[in-house]
Amino acid sequence: MKLLETLNRFLLTVLLITGGAFLLTMLGLTCYNIGMRPLKMSISGVYELMGYCGAIVITCGLAHAQVKKAHLQVDIVVNSYSRPFRMIVHSLNYLICILIVGIAVWQVALKGYTFYTTGEVSETLLLRYYPFTFGVAVGFIVLGLLFVTDLIRDLSGSKREVRG
C-alpha cells in the first residue's frame, strides 16, 4: 500500500506541474494575443491551442480533485446507514468509477492511436492531435489508479495518509 501511495503522490505531482505549465501557457498566450491584437500581431490558432491546453489542464486536475475529495458527493443518505453498508456502497461506487475511467482511457487511447497512425493534424496550426489525446489518457489512467487505491484502502480498513 505504501508503494502504491508513493507512486500516486509522484504521479499526482507530475500531473499538477504539467497542468500548471499548460495553464501558464494559456495565460501567456491569451495576454499576448489580447495585447498584440491592436498592433495586428496576434497569433493565429490561439483558439486551437486553448482547446488543447484546456483539455490537458482539466485532465491533470481530475486526479487532484479525487485526492482532495473536492468533487461533489452526496453522503446525506449513505452516512445514516451502518458502517458495513456504507463500505459496500463506497466499494460499488469505486468499482463503477474504475469501470467508467477504464472505458474512457480505452476510448481516448484508441482515438490517440488513430490520430497517430493517420497523422491527422489541426486545421490552423497543423499540430498533431495525438500528443494531446495521449496526455488526456494519461490523466485518466492516474485517476483510475487513485480509484483503485481508494478501493483497496477502504476494503483493507487502512486510513488515508494526510499530507499538506
In angstroms, the CA 111 to CA 28 distance is 29
- Dig out the grid coordinates for 94 from the structure: 469505486
Query: What's residue 164's pLDDT?
Result: 39
In a domain, 163, yes or no: no
Alpha helices in 71-129 (DSSP H): 83-118
In a domain, 26, yes or no: yes
- Dig out the grid coordinates for 127 from the structure: 499540430
Query: What's residue 139's pLDDT?
Result: 96
Q: What amino acid is encoded at 130 in this protein?
A: Y
Cβ neighbours of residue 59 under 8 Å, at least 6 residues apart?
A: 19, 135, 136, 138, 139, 140
In a domain, 164, yes or no: no
Range of the domain at 99: 2-156
Number of structural domains, the chain?
A: 1
Query: What's residue 86's pLDDT?
Result: 85
- Dig out the grid coordinates for 24 from the structure: 501558464
Residue whose C-alpha is closest to residue 62's, from 18, 7, 109, 93: 18
In a domain, 161, yes or no: no
Cβ neighbours of residue 102 under 8 Å, at least 6 residues apart?
A: 144
Please, which residues bridge with residue 128 across strands?
Answer: 121
Which residue in the block uniquely carries the three cell numbers 483503485? 148
DSSP state letter for 75: -
In a domain, 162, yes or no: no
Query: What's residue 162's pLDDT?
Result: 44
Query: What's residue 161's pLDDT?
Result: 55
Q: What is the pLDDT along the chain (164 residues), one digit of tens a residue?
A: 889 899 999 999 999 999 999 999 999 999 999 999 899 888 888 999 999 999 999 999 999 999 888 776 667 777 788 888 888 888 999 999 999 999 999 999 999 999 999 999 999 999 999 999 999 999 999 999 999 999 999 888 776 654 43
